[in-house]
Amino acid sequence: MRYFPIFLDFEGQRVLAVGDGEAILNKIRLLQRTSAAIELVADTLDATLDGLVSHGGVALVGRRFEPGHLNGVVAVFAAADDITNKAIFEAARSRNIPVNVVDRPELSTFLTPAIVDRDPLVVAIGSEGTGPVLAQGVRARIEAMLPYRIGELALAAGSLRQRVGRSISAAAGRRAFWSNYFFGIPAEAFLADDAPGYAAAVDAAIDDASTPRTGRVSFVTAPADPELLTLKAHRKLQEADCIVHDRGADARILDYARRDAARVAVEAAAPDLLLREAAHGRHVVRLRSEASRLVASSARELAALAAAGITVEIVAGPHPEAPGIEWRAA
């Protein structure tokens, strides 16, 4: 990854756009979704740009770019001629001001991604300049997948944060609540405009998340090809508080896990570790790299968990070779 994705705060900030025509107009339309004060340097104004300036949406500050136009701005977008674009890049870089020149990544210190805007939920998709059409295609798929009012659901969540913080003391419980809130019955009721159902679902979700959590362990077999990972295995990796994996586990599989999940590499069976993590109420994923290695050592781990009464789920095929263990695919 060459370009690190970040979100810049444009609240009350000045942003400069240089150029005329459709390319710079597209950038201005994107900037208008923010609260930035947009300043424009343009030699000529077409009807649309002239309308934006006339109605106060954009401030025309010059006809030709001068380095002084960068004073006090937090970012600059350019779509001018080659000489001007290069001058803008050099002046902005010397002042450590982020600069984006349309279709010229070599003259840019940042790139603008394809964006799905469900304010305050924003999804940015980038291809590091190699495939804008690919990024736009992915954006279209995400657009179709996300409910239009999901941003309103996120705003409604903001009004619940203090209540959730008071009612649910454990961090894991709060995480479980928000997972249920955004992907369970509360979200369904909210998006259906069912206000009474939403209120009741929120109350029930808070009560449920306030109850001390019981630890559990999910055994997941990692396939050789990450694309063969099942939907359920992917979900378990996203839910896990801790992932205990074989040393040398495929990093591509581990990338599917939650960023804040603890990761512990082990050489062999680790029943004591699994018991300790589960005893703290955590959801543990025991990730094994190969099904052929799952049987013997996992049988020892399963036996220890069964003796302690820990809930176990096996997201894998049956393994009848393991003596005394009832293997059942989840």
Q: What is the CATH number of the domain that holds 262?
A: 3.40.1010.10
Give a yes or no: residue 32 inside a domain.
yes
- pLDDT confidence bin for 316, thresholds 50/70/90: low
Residue with tokens 């094994």: 288
Give a yes or no: residue 233 inside a domain.
yes
Give a yes or no: residue 252 inside a domain.
yes
Neighbours of 275 (CB within 10 A): 18
For residue 129, what is the domain's CATH number? Answer: 3.30.160.110
For residue 161, what is the domain's CATH number? Answer: 1.10.8
Q: Are residues 182 and 264 in the same domain?
A: no
Q: Are residues 157 and 241 in the same domain?
A: no
Give a yes or no: residue 324 inside a domain.
no
Domain's final residue, options 210, 229, 254 = 210
Give a yes or no: residue 296 inside a domain.
yes
Strand partners, 41: 18, 62
In this predicted model, what pLDDT tens digit does every residue of 256-312 receive, in sequence order? 998 889 999 998 889 999 999 998 888 999 998 765 455 556 788 999 999 999 999
Domain's final residue, options 146, 167, 189 = 146
In this predicted model, what pLDDT tens digit does every residue of 67-83 receive, in sequence order? 999 999 999 999 999 99
Q: Give the global pTM.
A: 0.69
Domain's final residue, options 146, 163, 191 = 146
- pLDDT confidence bin for 164, thresholds 50/70/90: very high
Q: DSSP letter string over 155-203? A: HHHHTTHHHHHHH--SHHHHHHHHHHHHHSHHHHHHHTT-HHHHHHHHH
Q: How far apart are CA 38 and CA 56, in angstroms?
A: 10
Instruction: Taking residues 315-319, report their average pLDDT.
Output: 54
Give a yes or no: residue 9 inside a domain.
no
Q: Which residues have CB under 8 Å from 319's CB, separation 6+?
A: 291, 294, 295, 298, 325, 327
pLDDT at 79: 97
| Burial class of residue 309, CB neighbours in 10 A (0-12, 13-18, 19+) | exposed
Q: How far apart are CA 309 and CA 193, in angstroms?
A: 42
In this predicted model, what pLDDT tens digit does every residue of 198-243 receive, in sequence order? 999 999 999 988 887 788 999 998 888 888 888 889 989 988 999 9
Q: Are residues 230 and 269 in the same domain?
A: yes
Give a yes or no: residue 328 inside a domain.
no
pLDDT above 50 (res 44)? yes
Q: Are residues 23 and 84 in the same domain?
A: yes
Give a yes or no: residue 157 inside a domain.
yes
Q: Are residues 42 and 74 in the same domain?
A: yes
Least confident range from 57-71, 112-126, 167-181: namely 167-181
pLDDT at 254: 93
Q: Residue 119: give the domain boundaries.
A: 113-146
Report the domain count for the chain: 4
pLDDT at 296: 57
Average pLDDT, the chain: 89
Q: Are residues 191 and 104 in the same domain?
A: no
